Amino acid sequence: MIKAGIIGSTGYAGQELVRILLRHPETEIIWYGSRSYIDQKYSEVFRNMFQIVDAACMDDNMEELMKKADVVFTATPQGFCAGIVNEEVLEQTKIIDLSADYRIKDVSVYEAWYGIRHASPRFLPEAVYGLCEINREKIRSARLIANPGCYPTCSILSAYPAAKEGLIDMDTLIIDAKSGTSGAGRGAKVANLYCEVNENIKAYGVATHRHTPEIEEQLGYAAGREVRLSFTPHLVPMNRGILVTAYAALNRTAEEEEIREIYEAYYKEEPFVRVLERDVCPETRWVEGSNYVDVNIKVDPRTNRLIMMGSMDNLVKGAAGQAVQNMNLVFGLPEGTGLDAVPMFP
Amino acid sequence: MIKAGIIGSTGYAGQELVRILLRHPETEIIWYGSRSYIDQKYSEVFRNMFQIVDAACMDDNMEELMKKADVVFTATPQGFCAGIVNEEVLEQTKIIDLSADYRIKDVSVYEAWYGIRHASPRFLPEAVYGLCEINREKIRSARLIANPGCYPTCSILSAYPAAKEGLIDMDTLIIDAKSGTSGAGRGAKVANLYCEVNENIKAYGVATHRHTPEIEEQLGYAAGREVRLSFTPHLVPMNRGILVTAYAALNRTAEEEEIREIYEAYYKEEPFVRVLERDVCPETRWVEGSNYVDVNIKVDPRTNRLIMMGSMDNLVKGAAGQAVQNMNLVFGLPEGTGLDAVPMFP
Amino acid sequence: MIKAGIIGSTGYAGQELVRILLRHPETEIIWYGSRSYIDQKYSEVFRNMFQIVDAACMDDNMEELMKKADVVFTATPQGFCAGIVNEEVLEQTKIIDLSADYRIKDVSVYEAWYGIRHASPRFLPEAVYGLCEINREKIRSARLIANPGCYPTCSILSAYPAAKEGLIDMDTLIIDAKSGTSGAGRGAKVANLYCEVNENIKAYGVATHRHTPEIEEQLGYAAGREVRLSFTPHLVPMNRGILVTAYAALNRTAEEEEIREIYEAYYKEEPFVRVLERDVCPETRWVEGSNYVDVNIKVDPRTNRLIMMGSMDNLVKGAAGQAVQNMNLVFGLPEGTGLDAVPMFP
Amino acid sequence: MIKAGIIGSTGYAGQELVRILLRHPETEIIWYGSRSYIDQKYSEVFRNMFQIVDAACMDDNMEELMKKADVVFTATPQGFCAGIVNEEVLEQTKIIDLSADYRIKDVSVYEAWYGIRHASPRFLPEAVYGLCEINREKIRSARLIANPGCYPTCSILSAYPAAKEGLIDMDTLIIDAKSGTSGAGRGAKVANLYCEVNENIKAYGVATHRHTPEIEEQLGYAAGREVRLSFTPHLVPMNRGILVTAYAALNRTAEEEEIREIYEAYYKEEPFVRVLERDVCPETRWVEGSNYVDVNIKVDPRTNRLIMMGSMDNLVKGAAGQAVQNMNLVFGLPEGTGLDAVPMFP
C-alpha cells in the first residue's frame, strides 16, 4: 500500500483527492493536513466523510511527513510547496504539487506572473510537468511532479494535436474558458457567496490570468516555438466543470474529418481523453465526477478557423484525479487505478 | 457474473442504474431497454457513457429477456411491470421493480391512488417491499421485489425507530419533504424546464401524493396499527437529493440523547444509514452520489414534539442504489457490493 | 419629498431598499449608511447602481441623521437599533427598524431568544409591529416601527385568517419554511459560499430559530390565546423567495371552499395579498421582485388537517418592500406607492 | 394611450413585454395573442400576472388586430411576421418584429441561414434595424422595425466604437458569447429540462448560429466593409443574461485609456449603455431586469489585442425592453419611458 500524505486537505481539491484516494485500492491516506482545522475531525469539515474518515486534521510537519509518507500531495497556496521542497525531502518521498510552484520552467516568468519569489528554483529543472498524456515517460521516474493547472489541462489537451501538427497559426490562438465555482476555492469571500455567483456570468483576470504562461509554455513545446496567446477565464454558476473554446486560424484549408482523424490518432490510446463524434460539442455535464477530458473540433470554412473545444471536471482531471494519475505512473501502477468512475449525471 | 436487463434504461433512474452496475464487480448489463430510443446507441442518449457503453437501446421483449437475464430491473411507468409479471417470468428471472406496482399490498388502495387497474394483483402477496434495512431476510429469498419509492425510503427510515418504539403519536405525524428535480423524470414538460424550476420552490401533490399510502403502510407495520399522516413534497432547484423533515408529538417526555441512542441502536449495523451527531442536521450535499441515508432527530421541549430528519440521494438510495442493494441480497453477495461510492462534494 | 436615511445600506435588504426607494416618486435617499464601506462609492459595492447612485457610503451618525432625515431605516444587526433609539431621535425622525429589536413586546422573550440585552426596552410598548395587513391604523401614527421578519411575514399571513376565525387547533400548528439564500445575508462565511449552498437543501435552527417567538406572539393575538408552535426554516439554493407550508388540525370538519372564502374575505381589500385559486399552490417564482404574498389553503379530509401555504419575495415583502409600505402609511401616501412592480419571471 | 397588441405573448420574450408594458404609462395592451393557449386566461399561463392581467389569450387575427392596435409586436417563430406583413397592415399599424424576419437586408443570406423562404422580401428595404443607439433617427419614422436579436445587440454594442473607428482588424474578430437559458425559449424539449441545463455549460451552433450574419451585417456598416467573424454561443445555467467576450487584433498600438475614452464618447448620451470603469468587467448580475448594456474593453499589450466585453439582460435589452425602446421612439415618447427599472440584485 502506498502511504499518502496530503497537505491542504480541506480545500476543494484536497477533499476531492481524499475522496478518490479512499477508493484507490493501493493507497492509504496517513495524513490529513490542514492548517485551518488542526485537531478538528476531518469528517466535521466535510460531513460526506462521516463514518468514512476517522482522522483529525494535522499541521504540516514535513520532517515527520517525509518519513512516513511514500508520496506527499500539496494542495496548497502558491509558494508553500517551493518553501518545503529540498533534497532531503525528495530523497525520502515523492512530491506531487497541485499548486503552480513547479509548473513554469522559467523562474522569472513565474515570479512576474505570481508576484512572489520562488524559494527553491534549483528544483525547477528536475520537476516534471505532470500532464500524463504528454509527459508520461518522464513522470514515471520523477521525484517532483508539477500537477497541471485546471485551465491549462483542458486548454492544452484541446489544442495539442493542432499545435503539434502545425495545423494552426499559433499567433492567432485565443482561448476562452469557463469554469465552475469550485475552482475559486473554499475561502470565505463575498465574491464567492451563493447570491453573488448564482444567476451571473463574468470574465475575470482578463489578459492577466496566471494560467496564461503555463499554457503558453506547454503549447510552445508542442509548436516548437514561443507562443503568445489570449486566455480569458469566466466564472459560471455551477459547482464543477471547465469548458474551453479555443480559436485559431488554420495554416491551410483542411476538412474537418481530416483534423478529427489527427485528434483521434493522437488520443487513441489515451484512457482519459475522448474525441467526440462529428458535431457533438463537449459539455461539462458528461464528464462530471470522472477523469475524462472530452474534446472536439470544428472547422469554420467561412473564416478558415479551427475551433477547438474541451470539457473536464476541474476537480478531477483538473486537479485531484490527475494527481492520482501521476501517482499511479510514479509507483508503476496501471495509470487508471482508482480513476474508473463513470461520469455522474445529472 | 449476474446478467442484468434493464427496462426503462433511459430515464434518470435507469441511467443511474446503468452507471452503478457498470462498476459492479459481479454484474454485466445485457439489455438496455428503452421504448423511446430503440436502436439508438445508449451513449448518444447519455453522452457520459461515450466509449463506456457500446450497446444500442432495445425494445422490451420479455420473452427473450427472461431467458437471458438473471435479473430484470423495471424502471418504467406505473402499470408496466404489473402487466409483464407472470409465473413463467418469475420462474426464469428475478424482477426488481422500481415502479410502484408491487409496493402496496392492498390492491384497492393502489388502484385508488394511482388511478389504474392492477394487472396482476395475485403477485402482491409474494412481492417483497425492498427496504433492505427492514425486510432484509425476506428479500434474500424473493423473486419479485418492489423497490421503495424515493420519498418513502427517506421518510420511513427517518421515522422508523420512533414509530417502532412507540415514541410518537402516529396520529400527529406530518412529513414535509423536499426533492431535487431529477425526481420529476426526463419527460419533456414545460413545468420541468430549467427556467421554470430554477429560482423557485413549490409544494405539489398536496394531500394527494401517491407516496402517501406507501409510507403509511410501512410505518403502520412499524407502529402495529393503521397510520394516517400528512405528506407534502416540494420541488427544489437542484438535480439530486431528498430531504425529509417530519414532525410528531412525543408520547412521553424524552431527552434528545435517549432517542438518539435508540436510533443509533437501530441503525448500528446498517451499512447505509448514518445517524448524525447531536445538532448536526442532514443535508443533501453530504450524501450526493452515494447510497447513504443520513438521519437525525431533535426534541423540541417547548412543544414536546420530535422532529425527525433524513437526507438521501433520490437516484441512488431512492432508486438505483437501493435496487442494486436488493439485487446483492437476492444473489447472496455482500450487501454493499458496487455501492461503496464516497459522497461527492461539491 | 420624504428624505430617507438608511443605516446598513450594503446588506442585501439595505440594497433592496435602495433599489425600491430610487423609483419611489415621493422619496429621496439622503444617507447611504454602511460601517463596512465608509467613503467607498455605493455603486462600487453594488455595480447595478453604476450611473444611478453617485453617493458614497457614510458612517452612522445619528445626531446628524435625525436632523436631516424624515425617516431612518435601520437594516442592521440585532441590538443596533435598540442602542440608538431615544426620545430625542423619535421627536425628530421616524424609525423603521428592519431588525428584530422592537418586534417582540416581552423583553425577556427577546433577550432569551436573541441572547443580548435590550438597550431601550422602554420603547417596546410604543413600537408598532409593521405588518400592514393587520396593524394598518396603528402604523399610520407610529414613530417607531418594527418591520416584521421575513419568515414571520409569510407565516403569519398564511395562517392569520384560520387562527383568527378559530378554524384550527393552535396547539397543533407546525410551520415548515423554505428560504432563498439572500436571507442569510452578505457576510463572508464558508457556509454561504456558492459551492456549499448550490445542489443542497438543509434545515437549520431546528426548534431554536429566533423567528419562532415573533410568529407565536402575532398568531397569539389573532387566536386570542398564547401559542406554541414548531417552526423549521430550510435553506434553498436560490437567491430570493420564501415558501411556507403550515399544518394544523381543523377544529371542525370544513369544506375547502368555505375556508378559501374566509381567506378571500380577509384579504379582499389587501393590495399585496393574493388568495390563489383552488388547487393552485404558491410558488416563489410568481412573486419574485414584487411585494406580493400569494397564499392558499388545502383541506386534507383524510387527516382533517388544514394545510396553509404562502410564498413571498423575502427581500421585498419580507424586508425592504414592507418597510416602504410602512413608510407610505406613516407619511399618508397611498400604501402601494413605489411598490407596483409586476413579479419578474423567469 | 398607445394600444398595443402582442402576437406570441406566451413565450419568455412575449411575457417580458407584457410585464414591461403593464407599467408603461402611455400604453395599454389590448391583445394577448397566443396560438398555444387560445381562450385560456393569461394569468393561468403566467401566474405572476394573477390579479394583474384579466385577459384571455387570443388567436392571431391580423385583420382585426391592425384595426384595433396602434402597434403590433410579433414575438413569434421565424417566418411568421414575414407572412402577415403587407401594405394594408403597415398603413394601419406599426409592426415591431422580435423575430429575425426583417433584420437581414439580403434576402438570400436570410434564406440561407434560416432555411426558409422569405414571404415578403419587398418590405426588407423599408424595415429599420431597431438598434436605437445606431439607428435612432430612422426608427422614429419607421413603420416596420426589426427588433435586433439578443446576441447581436450585445455583440454589436460591445464592438461598435472599435469597428467604427477602425481600431481593430475586422478579419480577426471573434465573439464568444454566453447566454442564460430563457434565450432557448419555453418549448418543452428534453435539452432544456432543469437537470440537463443545471450544472452544465456547452457551446452550441458552433460556426453555424443564425445570429452570425446579423452581427456581420451591422458591424460591416460600422466598419465600412464586409465582415466575416466567428461567433460562438454558449448555454449557461442561469435564467437571464448575456455576456459577450470579443477579441480582435488592434490595428495599431493603443493605450487602454485612449480606447475607453472613445467608447465613453460614443455612448456618453446613451441612456442604456454604461461604459464601466477601468478593470471592471461586465457581469450579467448587474443588469438583470433592466434595459442596460454594460460594456468595457481591455487592451492586452502582450498580444496587441483588444478584448471587448458586454453584458445585458437578454429578455430586456435583448428583446422586450429594446422593443419598447423602439416603440417609444416611433410614438415620439421619451426613449426611456417605462424602462427605468433599476437592475435587480441578487
Instruction: Dump pLDDT digits (tens) for C228-283.
Output: 999 999 999 999 999 999 999 999 999 999 999 999 999 999 999 999 999 999 99
Q: Which of C81, C150, C154, C195 is catalytic?
A: C150
Show residues of chain D in contact with A151, CB under 8 Å. Answer: none
Whether C238 sits inside 8 A of A198 (CB atoms) is yes
Whether B343 sits inside 8 A of A48 (CB atoms) is yes
Q: What is the average per-residue pLDDT within B241-249?
A: 98
3-state secondary structure chain B: CEEEEEECCCCHHHHHHHHHHHCCCCEEEEEEECHHHCCCEHHHHCHHHCCCCCCECECCCHHHHHHHCCEEEECCCCCHHHHHCCHHHHHHCEEEECCCCCCCCCHHHHHHHHCCCCCCHHHCCCCEECCHHHHHHHHHCCCEEECCCHHHHHHHHHHHHHHHCCCECHHHCEEEEEECHHHHCCCCCHHHEHHHHCCCCEECCCCCCCHHHHHHHHHHHHHCCCCCCEEEEEECCCCCCEEEEEEEEECCCCCHHHHHHHHHHHHCCCCCEEECCCCCCCEHHHCCCCCCEEEEEEEECCCCEEEEEEEECCCHHHHHHHHHHHHHHHCCCCCCCCCCCCCCCC
Tell me the nearest-neighbour CA distance from C117 into chain D, angstroms: 33
- Residue D301 sits at φ, ψ, to 5 deg, of -65, -25
Domains D2-126 and D151-313 belong to one CATH topology: no
- Say whether residue C23 is in contact with chain B using an 8 A CB cutoff: no
The secondary element (H helix, E strand) that includes residue C89 is helix C87-92
Between the CA of residue A178 and those of A150, A243, D235, what are the distances in Å? Answer: 11, 5, 11
- Say whether residue A238 is in contact with chain D using an 8 A CB cutoff: yes
- Say whether residue C232 is in contact with chain B using an 8 A CB cutoff: yes
- Say whether residue B298 is in contact with chain C using an 8 A CB cutoff: yes
- Say whether residue D21 is in contact with chain C using an 8 A CB cutoff: no
> Percentage of chain A with pLDDT > 90?
100
Chain-centre distance for alpha carbon A49:
24
Whether A48 sits inside 8 A of B280 (CB atoms) is no
Q: What is the C-alpha separation between C284 and C294, in angstroms, rounded?
A: 9
Tell me whether residue D278 is exposed, middle or buried, using C-beta atoms within 10 angstroms of its C-beta: 0 to 12, 13 to 18, 19 or more: exposed
- Say whether residue A194 is in contact with chain C using an 8 A CB cutoff: yes
Residue D12 pLDDT: 98
Whether A344 sits inside 8 A of B182 (CB atoms) is no
Domain ranges of chain B: 2-126, 151-314
Q: What is the C-alpha separation between A124 and A116, in angstroms, rounded?
A: 15
Whether A52 sits inside 8 A of B342 (CB atoms) is yes
Half-sphere exposure (Cβ direction) of D194: Cα atoms closer than 13 Å: 24
Whether the link from the prior residue into A346 is cis, omega within 30° of 0, is yes
Residue D58 pLDDT: 97
Output the pTM of the full model. 0.98
Pick the residue from chain D with its C-alpha nearest to B197.
D194
Q: Which grid cell is C166?
A: 378559530
Chain A residues 98-157 with a CB less than 8 Å from chain D? none
Show residues of chain D in contact with A219, CB under 8 Å. Answer: none
Q: What is the C-alpha separation between C308 and C176, in angstroms, rounded?
A: 10
Q: Which grid cell is D64?
A: 382585426
C37-46 tens-digit pLDDT: 999 999 999 9
The model's confidence at residue C60, banded by pLDDT at 50, 70 and 90, is confident
Q: What is the average per-residue pLDDT within C154-158?
A: 98
Q: What is the C-alpha separation between C242 and C233, in angstroms, rounded?
A: 10
- Say whether residue B179 is in contact with chain D using an 8 A CB cutoff: no
Between the CA of residue A262 and those of A167, A238, A255, A306, what are the distances in Å? Answer: 10, 32, 11, 13
> How does DSSP assign A89-112, residue by residue?
HHHH-EEEE-SSTTT-S-HHHHHH
- Say whether residue D40 is in contact with chain B using an 8 A CB cutoff: no
Q: What is the C-alpha separation between C100 and C148, in angstroms, rounded?
A: 8
Show residues of chain B in contact with C219, CB under 8 Å. Answer: none
The verdict on domain D151-313 having CATH code 3.40.50.2300 is: no
The model's confidence at residue C166, banded by pLDDT at 50, 70 and 90, is very high
Show residues of chain B in contact with D319, CB under 8 Å. Answer: none
Residue B60 pLDDT: 87
Q: What is the C-alpha separation between D76 and D61, in angstroms, rounded?
A: 14
Yes or no: say if D64 and D30 are a contact pair by the CB < 8 Å rule.
Answer: no
Tell me the nearest-neighbour CA distance from D199 into chain B, angstroms: 8
**In sequence order, what are the residues at sequence separation of 6 or more whose Cβ sits closer than 8 angstroms to the Cβ of residue C338?**
C20, C21, C23, C24, C25, C26, C27, C324, C328
Residue D60 pLDDT: 87
Count CB neighbours of A302 within 10 A.
14
Whether C228 sits inside 8 A of B284 (CB atoms) is no
Show residues of chain C in contact with B300, CB under 8 Å. Answer: 206-207, 230
Pick the residue from chain B with its C-alpha nearest to C173.
B303
ipTM score here?
0.98
Q: Which of D57, D81, D132, D150 is catalytic?
A: D150
The one-letter code for the residue type at A172 is: T
- Say whether residue A208 is in contact with chain C using an 8 A CB cutoff: no
Residue D222 pLDDT: 98
* Inter-axis angle of helices A150-164 and A211-223, nearest 10: 20
Between the CA of residue B268 and those of B70, B261, B276, what are the distances in Å? Answer: 32, 10, 12
pLDDT in tens, chain D (346 residues): 999 999 999 999 999 999 999 999 999 999 999 999 999 999 999 999 999 999 999 998 999 999 999 999 999 999 999 999 999 999 999 999 999 999 999 999 999 999 999 999 999 999 999 999 999 999 999 999 999 999 999 999 999 999 999 999 999 999 999 999 999 999 999 999 999 999 999 999 999 999 999 999 999 999 999 999 999 999 999 999 999 999 999 999 999 999 999 999 999 999 999 999 999 999 999 999 999 999 999 999 999 999 999 999 999 999 999 999 999 999 999 999 999 999 999 9
Residues pairing with B294 in the sheet: B274, B311
Show residues of chain C in contact with A195, CB under 8 Å. Answer: 12, 181-182, 186, 239
User: From the candidates A172, A200, A302, which should be mutated to test the interface with D, based on the most D CB atoms within 10 A?
Assistant: A200
Q: Which grid cell is A162?
A: 493542432
Q: Which grid cell is B122?
A: 395475485
Q: Which grid cell is D107?
A: 434576402
Pick the residue from chain D with its C-alpha nearest to C281.
D47
Tell me the nearest-neighbour CA distance from A105 into chain B, angstroms: 33
Chain-centre distance for alpha carbon C51:
29
Q: Is D150 noted as a catalytic residue in this protein?
A: yes
Tell me the nearest-neighbour CA distance from B247 into chain A, angstroms: 24
Whether B283 sits inside 8 A of C195 (CB atoms) is no
Residue of B46, B51, B280 with shortest CB distance to A274: B51
Q: What is the C-alpha separation between C203 and C185, in angstroms, rounded?
A: 17
**In sequence order, what are the residues at sequence separation of 6 or more whose Cβ sits closer than 8 angstroms to the Cβ of residue B1?**
B26, B27, B28
The one-letter code for the residue type at D243 is: L
Q: What is the average per-residue pLDDT within A233-254?
A: 97
Whether D287 sits inside 8 A of C48 (CB atoms) is yes
User: From the candidates A196, A199, A231, A290, which should be mutated to test the interface with D, based on the most D CB atoms within 10 A?
Assistant: A199
Subunits close to C (at least 3 CB pairs below 8 A): A, B, D
Subunits close to D (at least 3 CB pairs below 8 A): A, B, C
Q: How many residues does chain C have?
A: 346
C322-341 tens-digit pLDDT: 999 999 999 999 999 999 99
Q: What angle do CA C345, C346, D2 make, to 5 degrees?
A: 45
Pick the residue from chain C with its C-alpha nearest to B206.
C298
Q: What is the C-alpha separation between A34 and D239, in angstroms, rounded?
A: 38
Q: Which of A104, A148, A83, A192 is nearest to A312 (CA)?
A: A148
Pick the CATH number of D2-126 from 3.30.70.20, 3.40.50.620, 3.40.50.720, 3.60.20.30: 3.40.50.720
Pick the residue from chain B with its C-alpha nearest to C249.
B172
* Homologous superfamily of the C151-314 domain (CATH): Dihydrodipicolinate Reductase; domain 2 (3.30.360.10)
User: From the candidates A109, A151, A176, A209, which should be mutated to test the interface with D, based on the most D CB atoms within 10 A?
Assistant: A176
Q: Which of A81, A132, A150, A154 is catalytic?
A: A150
Q: Which of C167, C144, C158, C165 is nearest to C281 (CA)?
A: C158
The model's confidence at residue A60, banded by pLDDT at 50, 70 and 90, is confident
Show residues of chain D in contact with A288, CB under 8 Å. Answer: 199
* Inter-axis angle of helices C150-164 and C256-267, nearest 10: 120
The secondary element (H helix, E strand) that includes residue C297 is strand C293-300
Q: What is the C-alpha separation between C38 and B262, in angstroms, rounded?
A: 54
Q: Which grid cell is B104?
A: 402496496
Whether B190 sits inside 8 A of D186 (CB atoms) is yes
* Inter-axis angle of helices B132-140 and B150-164, nearest 10: 100
